[in-house]
Amino acid sequence: MLNFAKAEYQTRLKKTKQSMEKQGINVLLITDPANISYLTGFNAWSFYVHQLLIVIDQEEEPIWAGRRIDASAAQITTWLSNENILPYSDDHVQSTRKHPMDFVAGILKEKGQSNKTIAAEFDAYYFTARNYIQLTQQLPDATFVDGTTLVNWIRIIKSEQEIEYIKRAATIVTETMYKGIDRIQAGVRECDVVADIFHKQISGTEEFGGDYTSIVPLLPSGEKTSACHLTWTDEVYKEGDPVILELAGCHKRYHSPLARTLVIGKPTSEMEELADVTIEGIEAALDIIKPGVTCEEVELAWKRSIEKRGFEKESRLGYSTGLNYPPDWGEHTASLRSGDQTVLQPNMVFHMIPGIWMDTYGIEISETFRVTESGVEVLANVDRKLFIK
């Protein structure tokens, strides 16, 4: 059931160990499910309990440690040998007597790593304060350092197979976006539109199916478009409502996000102007993208474009994206914003989402793009405009 050749996983592991060596790290504890999947293929909805991947610099193969009932998922979805799939008993699960990190510490002691430099993903969603407390108590002679984005930065440049999966996700989000736009009209409930969106996201195309996205569809309407990250209600759409659709396609856990805005009926002149400003800014930013350009320079092109029309956007313009699990499809590495000196390289993928939110309405029009050898490739194929129903 591997989504990539075993050799690709081993190349990723080699790059991880090279980064560990540069940073003086002997052991890397990975709790981010995207990073676990990236290195092993592991794919299950088991991240609500403690699980992790242990990468030891001198060991040829990493160790998966997780709940016993999830060990079979590791056997099915990863390239790891059975002896490196080490489950803890169920009395560790949400227990006040035993903790999974005690089990992990025992593995490290057995492997002779109890006094080494150990990195953990301190700022990952899935690494808790209790994880740190238990590990430091059990391994008092170890030196703990932050390894939060070590694997993420390796993930930022995609292989050709990864790009293919993202392009399939882009095809899914293209069809899903048009499905959502077609269904929205006055008198229709928001939740019914989202139900159709979910159906299309998962059913995908005749050639390939979809996966659950790391973020649910975000569909604020009316004055709620002035706020970020709202989902949907059971209210009906009304004439004159602006509606933001921020969606993604997902295929084999690889995402291609996309946002568009529509108005039911006649848009105000302010909405039309803001949409024009946003589109001009997107195109100005896309025009300069190529290898060698920095993330900061991309954001600056956008900023200069909208400033000419008297607008500004405080939040970042975008971020790297690809493989991920809830609650986010961003990779937590490079951002399109002032001060980010990350140099664009071929096969980096970003979601550029230049939303601008006013007091009573907002506009979001976004694109996911790949950096090519000579420029940029926009991945979805949805008209870049303010849709009017």
Global pTM reads 0.97
Q: Give long-range contacts, CB 8 A cutoff, 24+ apart: 336-339.
A: 336/285, 336/295, 336/298, 336/299, 336/302, 337/295, 337/296, 337/299, 338/296, 338/299, 338/300, 338/303, 339/296
Q: How far is CA 76 from CA 2, 44, 186, 251, 324, in A?
A: 9, 10, 47, 19, 19
Q: What is the pLDDT of residues 111-149, one digit of tens each?
A: 999 999 999 999 999 999 999 999 999 999 999 999 999
What is the gyration radius of the CA atoms in the chain, in angstroms? 22
What confidence score (pLDDT) does residue 14 get? Answer: 98
Domains 6-155 and 160-388 share a fold: no
What confidence score (pLDDT) does residue 383 get? Answer: 98
Burial track 157-181 (b if 16+ CB lie within 10 A, e otherwise) = bbeeebbebbbbbbbbbbbbbbbbb
DSSP string spanning 179-227?
A: HHHHH--TT-BHHHHHHHHHHHHHH--SS------SS--B--BGGGGGS
Residue 324 in this model has a pLDDT that exceeds 90 = yes
CATH number listed for the domain at residues 6-155: 3.40.350.10
Q: How far is CA 267 from CA 71, 86, 178, 189, 218, in A?
A: 54, 59, 19, 20, 21
What confidence score (pLDDT) does residue 313 get? Answer: 87
DSSP string spanning 82-96?
A: GGGEEEEPGGGTT-S
How far apart CA 155 and CA 20 sit, in angstroms, is 15
Residue 176 in this model has a pLDDT that exceeds 90 = yes
Residue 365 in this model has a pLDDT that exceeds 90 = yes
Length in residues, the chain: 389
Q: How far is CA 46 from CA 65, 89, 124, 152, in A?
A: 12, 15, 16, 20
How far apart CA 32 and CA 16 sit, in angstroms, is 14
Q: What is the pLDDT of residues 287-311, one digit of tens each?
A: 999 999 999 999 999 999 999 999 9
Residue 9 in this model has a pLDDT that exceeds 90 = yes
CATH of 160-388, one of 3.40.50.300, 3.90.1150.10, 3.90.230.10, 3.65.10.10: 3.90.230.10
Question: What is the CB neighbour count within 10 angstroms for residue 270?
Answer: 12
Cβ atoms 147, 121 nearer than 8 A? yes
What confidence score (pLDDT) does residue 240 get? Answer: 95
What confidence score (pLDDT) does residue 1 get? Answer: 80
What confidence score (pLDDT) does residue 3 get? Answer: 97
Question: Which pLDDT band, with edges at 50, 70 and 90, does 270 fall under?
Answer: very high
Domain ranges of the chain: 6-155, 160-388
Mean pLDDT over each residue of the chain, to the nearest integer: 97
- Mapped to the 3 state alphabet, what secondary structure does 244-259 carry? EEEEEEEECCEEEEEE
- Percent of the chain beyond pLDDT 90? 99
Question: Which pLDDT band, with edges at 50, 70 and 90, does 312 fall under?
Answer: confident
